[in-house]
């Protein structure tokens, strides 16, 4: 299967996507390569990707996919730029734009960036600079423009922000600098071929042709480098799920519920930290930290204040340890609180857990943990949070459900 991330560069209505092995997807964003339908042995063709309106696809995500046995080809747009950056790490590139990035002829992402409508329309609303460069080179070769005029026009259009480089803007600047003759020439070319001068589209079609011609992906032993970090584990954790009690629940939500509501979770977190330390020198983690930190009188700081790893929630052993005290009632609460968020969205225009004020979530945490703002940072660390802000963000996801429970029972939450 060939998974193609595209939108403004190559429309999903293109005839090429009628091929059964091609799967057309919207421009790639952070997390898209974790799609369970993208399996080892498959090919990903990365053409377009978002980076302003949503979190962008990270380099580490591409490397992780490659390391799992997925072939990744980049072309035409952000795919060409990423392929040039990662060509030495297993990502393939295709097309003249990719080669220009590799040679250093192109460098910035503004060369291929285009504006899009905010309503989800995937069509480009502006002209990419890389296409304008190509058109001006052809105009020079055909003596429609001299070299100086072409250079002045290119500089003027490059000064226009990419999201404002609409067709009327391009025509207005071109008319002022190059005159009507250039616009008539360009119009004639486009009347004969509506896609004339669209280098990005040509490169995208070439990449699809390449992907279909290449032999199947050969199993490999990986990149030989570690692509797993705290960041990549955190990203992957957001997509870890498990079917339990007849429901599919996000593992990260189940863990956060235990971290926040179980008064004994600090002991659970400490046991997991101790488990991580086994196999190095046989010393308990607290003793090893005392040796390593040997810069003051004992006792050494608590392990949770020094070591703050991100657990891998795709690892069954890790999940078993961290959810050791979870009950069926806890899982029911996680599902109920998730449903409360959906209900709140329906009832309150613009509601989202993220929009809840930090102060409300922080006050609720202080009450639950029976602590004060001074001790809150240590309390959060003891429960496996990076810091209090991390705990506050997680608390927001449960507040709507907690308030709904409070309304039923008559309790005060915050």
Q: How confident is the model at residue 308 (pLDDT cuts 50, 70, 90)?
A: confident
pLDDT band at residue 30, thresholds of 50, 70 and 90? confident
Q: Rounded to whole angstroms, how far apart are CA atoms 392 and 17?
A: 45
Average pLDDT over the chain reads 85
**For residue 289, pLDDT beyond 90:** no
- Please name the residues in contact with 235: beta carbons below 8 A apart, sequence gap of 6 or more: 30, 31, 34, 58, 61
Residue 410 reports pLDDT greater than 60? no
CA dihedral for 391, 275, 370, 397, sign (positive or negative): positive
73-77, 121-125, 231-235, 409-413, range with the lowest pLDDT? 409-413
- The full length of the chain comes to 414
Q: Which range is least confidently modeled, 135-139, 255-259, 286-290?
A: 286-290
Q: How much is the average pLDDT of 185-194?
A: 88
Percent of the chain with pLDDT over 70: 88
Q: Is residue 298 predicted with pLDDT exceeding 60?
A: no
Query: What's the whole-model pTM score?
Result: 0.67
Is the pLDDT reported for residue 28 higher than 50? yes
- 3-class secondary structure for the chain? CEEEECCCCCCCCCHHHHCCCEEEECCECCCHHHCCCCCCCCEEEECCECCCCCCCCCHHHHHHHHHCCCEEEEECCHHHHHHHHHHHHCCEEECHHHHHHHHCCCCCHHHCCCCECCCCCCCECCCCHHHHHHHHHHHHHCCCCCHHHHHHHHHHHHCCCHHHCCHHHHHHHHHHHHCHHHHHHHHHHHHHCCCCCCHHHHHHHHHHHHHHHCCCCCCCCCCCCCCCCHHHHHHHHCCCEEEECCEEEEHHHHHHHHHHHCCCHHHHHHHHHHHHHCCCCCCCHHHHHHHHHCCCCCCCCCHHHHCCCCCCCCCHHHHHHHCCCCCHHHHHHHHHHHHHHHHHHHHCCCCCHHHCCHHHHHHHHHHHHCCCHHHHHHHHHHCCCCCHHHHHHHHHHHHHHHHHHHHHHCCCCC
Alpha carbon distances (Å) from 253 to 153, 209, 240, 261, 335: 54, 42, 10, 12, 9
**Of 15-24, 91-100, 230-239, 336-345, minimum mean pLDDT range:** 230-239
What CA–CA distances, in Å, run from 27 to 9, 75, 77, 127? Answer: 9, 13, 10, 17
Higher pLDDT, 63 or 303: 63
State yes or no: pLDDT of 223 exceeds 50. no
Q: What is the pLDDT of residue 234?
A: 81
Query: For residue 74, what are the β-bridge partners?
Result: 46, 93
**Residue, of 414 and 8, whose pLDDT is higher:** 8
What average pLDDT does this structure show over 37-44?
A: 90
Q: Is the pLDDT of residue 260 over 90?
A: yes
The pLDDT value given to residue 414: 52
Tokens of 24: 């057309």
Q: How far apart are CA 264 and CA 161, in angstroms?
A: 55
Is the C-alpha dihedral spanning 295, 299, 304, 305 positive or negative? Answer: negative
Q: Can you tell me the distance from the alpha carbon of 198 to that of 192, in angstroms, rounded to the nearest whole number? A: 13
- pLDDT tens digits for range 230-254: 777 887 888 888 998 899 999 999 9
Domain boundaries along the sequence of the chain: 2-117+202-213, 129-198, 240-409
Average pLDDT over residues 103-126: 80
Bridge pairing between strands 241-244 and 22-25: unpaired
Q: Do strands 247-250 and 241-244 pair parallel, antiparallel, or not at all (unpaired)?
A: antiparallel
Q: Tens digit of pLDDT for each residue in 132-159?
A: 999 999 999 999 999 999 999 999 998 9
């Amino acid at each position: 299967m060939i998974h193609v991330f595209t939108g403004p560069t190559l429309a999903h209505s293109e005839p090429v996507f009628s091929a059964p092995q091609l799967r057309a997807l919207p421009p790639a964003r952070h997390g898209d390569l974790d799609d369970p339908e993208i399996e080892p042995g498959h090919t990903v063709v990365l053409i377009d990707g978002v980076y302003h309106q949503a979190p962008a696809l990270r380099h580490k995500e591409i490397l992780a996919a490659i390391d799992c046995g997925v072939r990744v080809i980049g072309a035409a747009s952000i795919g060409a730029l990423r392929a040039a950056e990662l060509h030495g790490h297993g990502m393939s590139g295709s097309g003249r734009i990719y080669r220009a990035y590799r040679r250093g002829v192109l460098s910035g992402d503004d060369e291929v960036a285009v504006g899009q409508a905010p309503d989800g329309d995937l069509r480009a609303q502006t002209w990419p600079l890389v296409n304008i460069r190509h058109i001006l080179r052809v105009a020079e070769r055909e003596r429609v423009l001299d070299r100086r005029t072409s250079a002045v026009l290119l500089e003027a259009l490059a000064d226009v922000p990419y999201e404002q480089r609409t067709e009327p803007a391009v025509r207005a600047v071109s008319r002022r600098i190059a005159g009507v003759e250039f616009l008539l020439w360009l119009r004639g070319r486009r009347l004969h071929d509506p896609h004339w001068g669209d280098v990005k589209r040509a490169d995208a079609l070439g990449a699809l042709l390449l992907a279909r011609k290449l032999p199947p992906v050969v199993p490999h032993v990986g990149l030989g480098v570690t692509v797993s970090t705290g960041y990549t584990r955190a990203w992957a954790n957001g997509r870890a799920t498990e079917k339990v009690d007849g429901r599919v629940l996000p593992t990260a939500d189940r863990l956060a519920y235990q971290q926040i509501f179980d008064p004994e979770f600090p002991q659970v977190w400490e046991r997991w930290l101790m488990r991580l330390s086994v196999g190095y020198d046989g010393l308990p983690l607290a003793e090893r930290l005392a040796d390593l930190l040997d810069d003051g009188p004992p006792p050494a700081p608590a392990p949770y204040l020094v070591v703050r790893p991100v657990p891998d929630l795709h690892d069954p052993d890790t999940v078993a340890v961290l959810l050791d005290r979870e009950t069926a009632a806890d899982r029911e609460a996680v599902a109920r609180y998730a449903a409360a968020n959906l209900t709140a969205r329906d009832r309150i225009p613009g509601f989202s857990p993220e929009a809840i004020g930090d102060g409300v979530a922080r006050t609720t945490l202080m009450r639950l943990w029976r602590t004060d703002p001074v001790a809150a940072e240590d309390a959060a660390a003891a429960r496996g949070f990076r810091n209090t802000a991390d705990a506050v963000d997680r608390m927001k996801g449960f507040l709507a459900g907690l308030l709904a429970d409070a309304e039923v029972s008559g309790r005060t939450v915050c």
